[in-house]
Amino acid sequence: MSEFETSFRLSWHVVVRNWTVYRKDFLANISPTLADPALMMVSLGMGLSPFIGQILGLSYAGYLAPGMIATTALFTAFFDCSYGFYVRMNYESIFKAMLTTPIGVREIIIGEFLWVFSRASAMGGIVGLVLAAMGLVPHAWQLLVFPLIAGLISLPCGAIGLLSAGYVRNINQFQTVYSFLIAPIFYLSGVFFPLGDQPVLKIVVNVSPFYHGVRLMQMTAWGRGTWTEVLVHLVGLLLFAIVLGWLAYRRAIRKLTT
C-alpha cells in the first residue's frame, strides 16, 4: 500500500470515530443544524417577504435560501472544529490515545477535515431538501451541487475553528472568536442582503472564505452568474482552505506534540 493510501486510511479512522460518537446522540446533534436554518427561513424568509418585495428579482425567501445552506456549513464546521476539537483534545484526551497507534498528527487533522466535509455536505444536502419542499429549488441537479459547495465551505471554516482551538487559553474564549469573527462573517457575507450597494463591504468581504461559498451557493440556486465568477469564487474558497488548513495543521502539531 502506498504512503498516500495508508495515510488516507488512517485519516478515515478518525472520521469513523467521530461518526460513532456523533450517531449516539444523533437527534441532539442534528437538531440545531437543521432547526436554525429552517426557523430562519420561516421567520425571515416567509415573515419578511411580503414587506420586502423583490430583491434582485427574487422573493426574499428565494434570496435567503442559498445562504441558509451555506450557513449550515459554516456553523457545522466552525463549532465542530472549535469546541468539538477542543473537547476531544483537552477534556476527552482522545488524541493522546490515538497517537499511540499508527495514526499521527497529520492523519488526525486530515481526518477532522474529512469528517467536517462529510458532515457539512450531508447537512447542506438535507437543508437543500427542506428548501426544495418549500418550493425554492427549481432543478434537481442543484440538490447535488449544494452538498459539494457546503463541503468546500466547511474546509476553511473548519480550519478557523481548529486554529482557534489551537490558540484559546480556555473554552470560554471561543465566545470571543464567535463574536468578533464568525458572527461578522455570517451577517456580512451577503446571506441577508446583496452587497452591491456597499462599496467598502464589497471589497472587504473578499477576505472572508464564507463569502466565496455564499456566492457559489447563490449562483447555483439562482441559476445566475458567469463561469468566470464561478471560477473566481471557487479558487478563492480553495485558496482559503489550503492556507488556513495548513496553518491549522502547523498549530495542531504544536498542540499535540511537545
Partner 1 sequence: MPAPVTRDQLPDVPAARAISRSPILQARGVTKRFGDVAALQEFDIDVHAGECVGLIGPNGAGKSTFIGCLYGVVLRTAGQLTVFGHDPAKNARAIKQRLGVVTQDNALDEGLTVVENMRLYARFVGLSKAQATPRIDELLAHMALEQKRDATIKMLSGGMKRRLTFVRALLSDPELLILDEPTTGLDPAVRHLLWEKVLSFRQAGKTVLVTTHYMHEAEILCNRIVILNRGAVVGSGAPRDLIQRETPGFVGIFSPEAEARLRPLIRDGWELFHQGRQCCVRAPELADLLGLQERSGILALQLRPSNLEDVYLKLTGKELAEDE
* Cell digits of residue 219: 449562483
CA distance from start to end of the chain: 30
Residue number with CB closer to partner 1 (99 or 247):
99
Nearer to partner 1, 2 or 257 (CB): 257
- CA–CA distance, 193 with 210 (Å, rounded to integer): 15
Residue from 20, 172, 226, 228 in contact with partner 1 (CB under 8 A): 20
What is the dihedral angle through the alpha carbons of 134, 137, 138, 139, rounded to the nearest 10 degrees?
-140
Q: Nearer Cβ to partner 1, position 23 or 224?
A: 23
Q: Give which of 122, 96, 112 is closest to 11, Cα–Cα.
A: 112
Number of residues interacting with partner 1: please give it, by CB under 8 A.
Answer: 24
Q: List binders of partner 1 among 114-173 (CB under 8 A).
A: none
> Least separation, in Å, of the C-beta of 11 and partner 1?
11
- Please name the amino acid found at residue 189: S
CB of 97 to partner 1, least distance (A): 4
CB of 92 to partner 1, least distance (A): 7
**Subset of residues 49 to 108 that bind partner 1, contact rule: CB under 8 A:** 92-94, 96-104
| CB nearer partner 1, residue 102 or residue 223 | 102
CB neighbours of residue 130 within 10 Å: 18
Query: What does DSSP assign to residue 257?
Result: -
Q: Which is nearer to partner 1, 24 or 57 (CB)?
A: 24
Q: What is the CA radius of gyration of the chain?
A: 19
User: What part of residues 227-256 is at the interface with partner 1 (CB under 8 A)?
Assistant: 256
Site of grid cell 443544524:
33
Comparing CA positions, the residue from 69, 86, 58, 228 lying closest to residue 167 is 86
Under the criterion CB under 8 A, does residue 258 sit at the interface with partner 1?
yes
Q: Which residues bind partner 1 (CB under 8 A)?
A: 6, 10, 13, 16-17, 20-21, 24-25, 92-94, 96-104, 256-258
